Amino acid sequence: MKKITIAIDGFSSTGKSTLAKQLAKELGYVYVDTGAMYRAVTLFAMQNNWVSPNHLDREGLIAQLAQIQLHFVFNPELGFGEMYLNGNNVEKEIRTLEVSSLVSKVAEISEVRAKLVEQQQAMGKEKGIVMDGRDIGTVVFPDAELKLYMNASAATRAQRRFDELQAKGDSVTYEEVLKNVTERDYIDTHRADSPLVKAEDAIEIDNSHLTREEQLQVVLDLVNEHA
């Protein structure tokens, strides 16, 4: 079967990364979590005091963008790549609610987007890639053979993210997570540069009532149709 590009977009916590990881494993494709890249840039900005809940030094961050090196390093035990920022594994640090609450502000900056989109396009040159994010089917790979747009209710999504954070021992409340999910949805869909929209040729999947296995089967059938 010929290798294709699979673009998965959608709101936060719609299960994009779970599906993308399953697909990559099943098909022997490379999985790229573009949200991790925006999160790593946000962590870098936090470490340099360029972003906090009530302040964003756009110019400071833009001037130092060249200092940010992002890499995915494949972890065979997990079966996917982990995010490295300037040589350090930052998987844990980028998944906190603090980073989640600041990342959409950083992702609004066009210079940040241009840098990350260039790297993402380079990673997809060989095809055989499944990439998830907000602008993959619209901006990064407008010619992707298969585009999916994932959806689920905000309450379902907040509950999923809350369960994940709790399992990691993070002491957050469901209300905090729901607030974060709703705020990010708003910023991600209303920003000027590359807002989250469903690509015209994307297939919408609402997984509020699908098990992971059912969803994977639906999408594998789509891959067979498009490859």
* Interaction site with ligand C5P (CB under 6 A): 12, 34-35, 38-39, 103-104, 107, 133-135, 184, 188
Complex with ligand C5P: residue 164 or 204, whichever CB lies closer: 164
What is the spatial distance between Cα 94 and Cα 24, in angstroms, rounded to a whole number? 22
Q: Which of 156, 29, 164 is nearest to 95 (CA)?
A: 164
Complex with ligand C5P: residue 39 or 160, whichever CB lies closer: 39
Provide the minimum distance between the beta carbon of 39 and ligand C5P in the complex, in angstroms, as a whole number. Answer: 6
**Which two structure tokens, joined as six digits, stand for 99?**
């980073």
How distant, in Å, are the alpha carbons of 10, 100, 138, 168, 225 from that of 163? 20, 15, 30, 9, 34
Provide the minimum distance between the beta carbon of 131 and ligand C5P in the complex, in angstroms, as a whole number. Answer: 8
Task: Summarize the annotated binding site as residue ranges.
Answer: 10-18
Provide the minimum distance between the beta carbon of 175 and ligand C5P in the complex, in angstroms, as a whole number. Answer: 19
> Are the beta carbons of 90 and 75 closer than 8 angstroms?
no
Complex with ligand C5P: residue 29 or 134, whichever CB lies closer: 134
Task: Summarize the annotated binding site for ATP as residue ranges.
Answer: 10-18
